[in-house]
Amino acid sequence: MKIWPVAAAWLLLAPAAFSQQELDQSRAGFHNDQGDATALWAERAKERKAARKQTARRAQVAAFAADPAHPYFGIVRGKMFELLRDGQASSMQQAYDLAVSQTPNLPAIPPP
């Protein structure tokens, strides 16, 4: 293998050309950049996971709302949210049942 004279000179001078402090700073900068990239990747992964959870929750709520057994969902959904948020209900069905029972004068829903 042939080494060009300039390359050989650089290889011989490289350790002397850079002080140990400069090398340490360079390495520290590389590790900081690597750490920043890792932190950014982890943050993005958390965001993707939260987005998947939110999508799953929305699908669950949409399925609940579309169920013919819940004809008053559009009217009582705000009350359902309050019941779930305040811990007075532990499931959507329980929140729906409580909200319907606590809402006066619900319109009559014709049978399908």
Predicted TM-score of the model (pTM):
0.59
**Do 95 and 74 belong together in one domain?**
yes
Please indicate, yes or no, whether residues 56 and 39 belong to a single structural domain of this protein: yes
In a domain, 20, yes or no: no
- Least Cα distance to 103 among 83, 8, 54, 29 occurs for 83
Tell me how far apart the alpha carbons of residues 83 and 77 are, in angstroms, rounded to a whole number. 10
Considering the domain architecture, whether residues 81 and 99 belong to the same structural domain is answered as yes
Q: Total domain count for the chain?
A: 2
Rounded to 5°, angle at Cα 65 from 90 and 109: 110
Extended beta strands in 21-76, E state? none
Q: Does 72 map to a domain?
A: yes
Structural domain boundaries, residue 83: 68-104
Q: 61 CB contacts (<8 Å, ≥6 apart)?
A: 92
* Chain centroid to CA 57: 13
Give tens-digit pLDDT for 12-51: 555 555 566 665 666 655 555 667 788 889 999 999 999 9
Q: Are residues 73 and 57 in the same domain?
A: no
Arithmetic mean of pLDDT, 89-93:
94
pLDDT tens, 50-71? 999 999 999 999 999 999 999 9
Q: Is 80 among the domain residues?
A: yes
Q: Higher-confidence residue: 39 or 109?
A: 39
Within a domain: residue 26? no
Mean pLDDT of the chain: 80
Same-domain check for residues 75 and 95: yes
What three-state secondary structure class fits 74? helix
Indicate whether 60 and 72 sit together in one domain. no
52 and 41 in a single domain? The answer is: yes
Reported as a pLDDT band with limits 50, 70 and 90, residue 10 is very low
